[in-house]
Structure 1
């Protein structure tokens, strides 16, 4: 696996690293609950990984809605080979479920604000149209 961390050049790219991890390891691709200490397993398997880039890539992965949904109902964690490696505690399941709930609430709030803004823009446009009709110059 060629990672952006082993190539000389600008700052390593966490998104690219995550994409490469998903291509190489089914546990990432399938959004299975990751084993505690998966970062150490990755550093042992993929030499030259930039720790900061790996941390950011793992955070992106574990905060994704798909991963959180999986975690909220999971019982087992998995290592890089897809083998069970510990269990998902009730506290971790509850935390994931709460994050999913919060994310959905925020999305609903954003949709509501968007609809309200669109409705306000429509009313403003109609009002301006009436004013133009009333006060516009007639040929």
Structure 2
């Protein structure tokens, strides 16, 4: 395996890894200040704004971040300074997003189990039919 195999293939993930290494608020997954992407662009003007936007979406939609937002009281800037409160509405929206995501995941899991059961039943019926018609 070459050294390039250890690098993230997704450029947004690479940007997130960089943000985590430079700013503890990303690594520790604290609720971020509103508009923090502007501060990131000021400090790191070499980052493509579109790529940063997608990276921020990936980070802030993660279950880990949504849980931090749900349980947090305070938002933080890039230096870890208090940058305002997490409002009850923001907490509720994060909680609703998590609940919906887990509900959909549970539904998908249930559907996969049902499909496996149906496939197993279909196979058992085929075996029985084969046994029935192979009898001499």
Structure-to-structure mapping, 1:111-130, within 5 angstroms: 111-130=109-128
Deviating above 3 A after TM superposition, structure 1's stretches of 4 or more consecutive aligned residues are: none
TM-score (norm 2): 0.88
The unaligned stretches of length 5 or more in structure 2 are: 1-9
Using structure 1 for the length normalisation, give the TM-score: 0.86
Contiguous gaps of at least 5 residues in structure 1: 1-11
1:7 alignment counterpart: none
Q: Distance in 1 between the 2:120 and 2:27 partners?
A: 43
Aligned residues: 127
* Alignment equivalent of 2:85, drawn from 75, 87, 91: 87
Q: Identify the match of residue 32 of structure 1 among 27, 30, 33.
A: 30
Partner residue, 1:59:
57
1:70 aligns with 2:68: yes
Give the match's secondary structure for 2:33.
Answer: coil
Partner of residue 132, structure 1? 130
Q: Aligned equivalents of 1:79 and 1:49: distance in 2?
A: 18
Q: Secondary structure at the match of 2:29?
A: coil
